[in-house]
Amino acid sequence: MNATEWKEKLSAIRDSFSVSINNVQTENPEAIELRFLGRKGELALLLRDLKDIPIEERKALGALGNTAKEEMMVRLGALKGVPASAGPAAKPNLDLTLPGWPFPKGTLHPLTVTLNRMTECFAKLGFSVAEGPLIEEDYFNFEALNFPPFHPARDMQDTFYVDVKDASGKDMLLRTHTSPVQIRTMKNQEPPIRIISPGRVFRSEAVDASHSFAFHQIEGLYVDKNVSMADLKWTLEEFMKDLFGSSAKVRFMPSYFPFVEPGAEVEVSCVFCRGKADGPRCPVCKGTGWIELLGAGVVHPNVLKACNYDPAKWSGFAFGAGIERFAMLLFGISDMRMLYENDLRILKQVQ
């Protein structure tokens, strides 16, 4: 069938449809519908024949067929008492200028935003990202980090053990910090090394406004020739200025971690109470005016030796920061627990 024949056939169908509609006393509307518009009705069969017509003519003929179909439906609907606006024939009445339904836009979690911003700051300083497992061996979490077995410093981080043994027969554990990634990286790479490693960590700890039992840290490790505490201070100060702006005050307090010597705790001025001693005691900084954000120090020679690095040749610095504490400061969240409650009023404030 060619296009002209097809049009003639369509016209014939329309005519006989009109005849049937006018003789509705002898033919009921359902029978007319079945004959012309049913799945195997005359119009459906004609539309199927379109496949034999060259593509350039097919589109226009298809449109003619659809218009005919809509007209037939309206006329049949009128017979059955269905208003024209109720069926597909109502389409021409659609107001396409009406605004659509609002489509809610998701937001990133404040912890993800914080982590992204921190990672960007360190990327600018040349740090790349390394990863490690959440279920860790005692060797990587403690021993190679200069925590010998039964060393009292192991009590600094209350550990969740898992009922699975590692190759040496020791219980595996949920990593208590991201520092094992230092060891994994140094064992796999030659210096110089400049990595950060974000991820989840777990400790059997009581939950309060600034503590959780499952939280996030970001580890940093830089190993090269002649790396000193001064490099560490410069790097962390640059990072804090980039993240918080120049108004945030930072201080380094001496501290002890078995895997660094010397070690420091880095604190930032409390953005909630601004260190005011008067007024109610601030629940975030506990009235001290400072919030501990991270531990840091110069990599201990025993750690370098455990990774087969010669401490006479190589030196480095490392740091480990709590990502929740940074998120609280960046977004003015005064209680860490809010970060895990999935309250949309909190989550939607962060873009």
Handedness of CA 278, 284, 285, 286 (dihedral sign): positive
Binds ligand FA5 (CB under 6 A): choice among 223, 296, 306, 339: 296
Residues shown for the chain: 351
Please, what is the minimum distance in Å from the beta carbon of residue 132 to ligand FA5?
A: 12
CA distance 253 to 263: 9
> Whose Cβ is closer to ligand FA5: residue 90's or residue 330's?
330
DSSP code string of 19-45: HHHHTTTTS-HHHHHHHHHSTTSHHHH
Detail the DSSP E strand segments found in 270-323: 290-299, 315-322
Q: Closest approach of Cβ 301 to ligand FA5, in Å?
A: 14
Least distance CB 299 / ligand FA5 (angstroms): 8
Q: Is 294 in the site for ligand FA5 (CB under 6 A)?
A: yes
In this complex, which beta carbon is closest to ligand FA5, that of residue 57 or of residue 224? 224
Report the distance separating Cα 164 and Cα 149, nearest Å. Answer: 18
Q: Scanning residues 143 to 182, which ones bind ligand FA5 (CB under 6 A)? A: 157, 177, 179
Which one of 61, 115, 236, 260 is in contact with ligand FA5 (CB under 6 A)?
260
Restricting to residues 322-341, which ones interact with ligand FA5 according to CB under 6 A?
322, 324-325
Nearer to ligand FA5, 13 or 323 (CB): 323
Rounded to whole angstroms, the maximal C-alpha distance in the chain is 108
Task: Identify whether the C-beta of residue 322 lies closer than 8 Å to the C-beta of residue 284.
Answer: no
Which residue carries 């998120």 as its tokens? Answer: 327
| Identified binder of ligand FA5 from the candidate list 20, 146, 185, 212, rule CB under 6 A | 212
Give the DSSP H or E segment for 3: helix 3-22
Nearest-approach distance from CB 292 to ligand FA5, in angstroms: 5
Q: Which residues contact ligand FA5 by CB under 6 A? A: 157, 177, 179, 203, 205, 211-212, 215, 217, 257, 260, 263, 292-297, 318-322, 324-325
